[in-house]
Structure 1
Amino acid sequence: MSVIDKVALIRWDGDAILAARTRGREAYYLPGGKPEPGESRLDALVREAAEELAVAVDPATAVRVGTVDAPAHGRAGAIVRMHCYTAESSGTPRPAGEIADVRWIGPADRHLLSPAALAAVEVLRGPSTPG
C-alpha cells in the first residue's frame, strides 16, 4: 500500500470548511498538496495555498492541528497522510492553477468531500458537530 504525504490548509467559517475541487474531479479536497523534494511541509503549505487559492499564507502563524490517514480518492490501495495546519493568510481565496472551484462546505454537504478531507473534518471538528 502506498502512502501519499500531503499538507492541507484548514480554514473554518462557522461550521463550514474551505474546500477546493480540481478540474476534472467531482470530490472536494482541502487546499494543499505534496511537498516537493527537499521542501519542508510548511514551505509546501505556503506554496500550495498561493498556487491553488491565490492567497499568501503567513508561515509565522502556521499551527499544525493534526494528521489524518484515509483512503486516497480515486487511487485504489493508496492512503493519504494529510498533515493539517491553520494559518493566517492575506487575499480572498479563489480558484487558481488547477483548481476549478473553491467553496465553503458545511455539514449538509460533507458528502462532497474526499475521504481524507472528510476524515480531517471529523477528527478536527467531530462527525456531527455543526460548529
Structure 2
Amino acid sequence: MSPSPVVPPPLIEVVAAVVVRPDGRTLLVRKRGTAAFMNPGGKPEAGEEQRDALVRELQEEIGLLVESTALQPLGTFETDAANEPGHALVAHVFLLELASADHRVAAEIEESRWVDPAAPGDLPLAPLAAEHLLPWLLAHR
C-alpha cells in the first residue's frame, strides 16, 4: 500500500497594505463577524492587477483614495489565513505612507485601530500581521 499523497491546504490570494502614519503607527482593521485585526486589503477580482485591486479595496473598506503609484511593493508573504481555518494565505503586500490619518470604516469592516507595531497590546492579530508585517515595520522603521 502506497502512502497517501500530501494535499496542500486550499490557497487564498490577497493584496494587503501596511498603512503607516507619520508617528509610525499602522492601521489594522477587523472585518464584521471576525475577531482578528489585519492589514486592510482583500482579494483581487478576475484579471485585476495587484495595485489596482489594493486601490479599490482601500477605497471600499476604509474610504482612502490613493494613487497606485503611492503603493510601494514590500513583497509576497505566505502564512495561515486568519478567518478560513485550514487555508493558506499568499499576500502581495504594499507600503502606504500617509501624511494624514483620515479614514472611515465601510463595507465589511467593523472596526479599525492605529497600532504601535512595537506594542500592539492585547488585540487578536491575524497571522499575516503578527508574524510578518508588524515585525517588518519594527525592523524597517
TM-score, reference length from structure 2 = 0.79
Task: Tell me the C-alpha RMSD between the 2 structures.
Answer: 2.2
My pick for the range that moved more, 34-43 or 66-75, is 66-75
Shift in Å at residue 30 of structure 1? 0.5
1:60 aligns with 2:72: no
My pick for the range that moved more, 72-81 or 115-124, is 115-124
User: Percent identity, aligned pairs only?
Assistant: 32
SS at match of 1:45: helix
Structure 1: where are the runs of 5+ without partners?
none
Runs of 4+ more than 4 Å apart: 88-91
Structure 2: where are the runs of 5+ without partners?
1-8
Shift in Å at residue 56 of structure 1? 0.5
Shift in Å at residue 93 of structure 1? 1.5
Higher strand share: 1
Partners of 1:122 and 1:3 in 2: how far apart?
22
Partners of 1:119 and 1:86 in 2: how far apart?
16
Partners of 1:70 and 1:92 in 2: how far apart?
30
Partners of 1:49 and 1:37 in 2: how far apart?
18
Query: What does residue 10 of structure 1 align with?
Result: 18
Residue 46 of structure 1, aligned match among 51, 55, 67 = 55
Partners of 1:60 and 1:69 in 2: how far apart?
24
Letter of the 2:34 counterpart: R
Letter of the 1:100 counterpart: E
Change (3 A) 1:122 1:105: closer
* Larger Rg, first or second structure (1 or 2): 2
Letter of the 1:114 counterpart: A
Q: How many residues align?
A: 128
Change (3 A) 1:123 1:69: farther
Residue 109 of structure 2, aligned match among 81, 91, 99 = 99
Partners of 2:120 and 2:16 in 1: how far apart?
22
Task: Give the conservation status (yes or no) of the 8 Å contact 1:70–1:116.
Answer: yes
